[in-house]
Homo-oligomer: A and B are copies of this chain.
């Protein structure tokens, strides 16, 4: 009988589920539409039914369920007012899942889940201090200190996307001006492209493809984005002194354009004592189902 964990990545559009063994191999995975579940209760009921089916058809022992979800709180085990989810208010998903399945469950937010994944299955296995930056619709971060993902006093730590690039900068949806997320994210890159003179409505993937074909405006868009990220990463390094910074998420697929510029700008902005010591690199989980692996890592980390 193989011992496995279930890793679940809940997003506004899809719910990705994977059966993950101790080595970080995804033995089986499938996807549900988030909108199929008007209430979290419906999702939990279907999950319970599915785990029973899985157990009766496979020689597995499920040792735990790990869930990554937007605005989820590791301490309270609840999704708290997720803006892009059909489930509103405070959802005590950890307790609900445990009650429905009888399987021990842990919950964290999506960026922290990737940090757990890097720590248990990625290059972070060998490190005690590192950060994971997730670049997508927003900019999230999971920060590892002394071999543990940092949660802070209220379970809210790691909001690097809402540190300020410029006190007179772009309006952020959080209400603040000039948050990093307004520049280094899908919407941020689109806006930078337009501000530099781009007339079309291109997404970061299109802009990246054009940049690879030599389009000046697209190259400039990524250069500016990477410079802003690199400068701000100097702040992160000054505070946390990590060994490495890993980039994850859809936008991070453009890392061949982002990392060299961000690394040079970061080193230029660092205090001398830090220069050359901290590497920016793509996450080991970038080409994999990193959020599913990370959610499963919430369970496997206890056996490290």
Contacts and interface: CB of A to CB of B under 8 A. Distances in A.
B274 A163 contact: no
Contact of A159 (B154, B163, B239): B239
A153 B243 contact: yes
A156 B273 contact: yes
A164 interface: yes
A215 interface: no
Given A148-B146, A273-B80, A241 B156 contact: yes
Number of copies: 2
B164 A235 contact: yes
A240 interface: yes
Contacts of A158: 239, 241
A208 B164 CA distance: 29
A276 B19 CA distance: 41
A88 interface: no
A129 B153 contact: yes
Contact of A239 (B127, B154, B157): B157
19 contacts: A80-B273, A145-B145, A145-B146, A146-B146, A146-B148, A151-B241, A152-B240, A153-B243, A153-B277, A154-B274, A156-B241, A158-B239, A158-B241, A160-B239, A164-B231, A164-B234, A165-B167, A239-B239, A239-B240
Given A152-B129, A167-B231, A162 B271 contact: yes
A269 B236 CA distance: 18
Interface in A115-149: 127-129, 143, 145-146, 148
